[in-house]
Copies of this chain bind each other. A is one copy, B any other.
Amino acid sequence: MARTVLDRSDVVRALAGVFRKRGFEAGSLSVIQQQTGVGRGSLYHFFPNGKTDMAAAVLQQVSDWFEDRIFTPLRLARNAGEAIEAMSREVAEYFTSRERVCLFAAMTLGEEQDTFADEVRSYFTDWVDALAAALRTGGLPPLEAADRAVDAVAAIQGGLILARAYGDDATFLGIVARTEQRLLAPTQ
């Protein structure tokens, strides 16, 4: 019977796609099965605890990506300006190529809220803290850096909502660009 053999990370990637399009609740096993070609058997082989495991794996993968491509570079930045420009570039490309959906933001709604509350909080605090660190490296006083970092992450997340509402990337890209400008602006 067994035909196509996949490894776990392929399945996680496919799951992420389904969850972005349909949401965690509505991403039913039948939909996953027909959308990804991965059967029930394989799914429960890779994720013995079912949908909770699947959600956890997807979030972990997203978290790893951001840690690697966004947070760590920001923390280790020697040139704050370049690091922030890089963040804008990476974030814009990441979300425009992924249905304009941040799965961690989606996790702040509905019932699943409680299940992954810690992971969600960590994702956002890590982002804000890493960005604030880069801003301090760039010479901003700590409180100003913290405020700007929070505002920037909020602007990006809100930009994703507007992008989905408008069905267009331009608004989101404009928001990201202006957010970058505000981050790089000198203290007044």
Chain A interfacial positions (CB closer than 8 Å to B): 22-23, 25-26, 101, 104-106, 108-111, 113, 117, 120-121, 123-125, 147, 150-151, 153-159, 161-162, 164-167, 171, 174-175, 178-179
Contacts and interface: CB of A to CB of B under 8 A. Distances in A.
Contact of A159 (B25, B154, B164): B154
Given A25-B110, A105-B161, A158-B158, 15 more contacts: A23-B109, A26-B110, A106-B109, A108-B161, A108-B164, A108-B165, A121-B166, A121-B167, A124-B166, A125-B166, A147-B174, A150-B171, A151-B179, A155-B158, A158-B159
User: Which secondary structure dominates chain A's binding surface?
Assistant: helix
Contacts of A179: 151
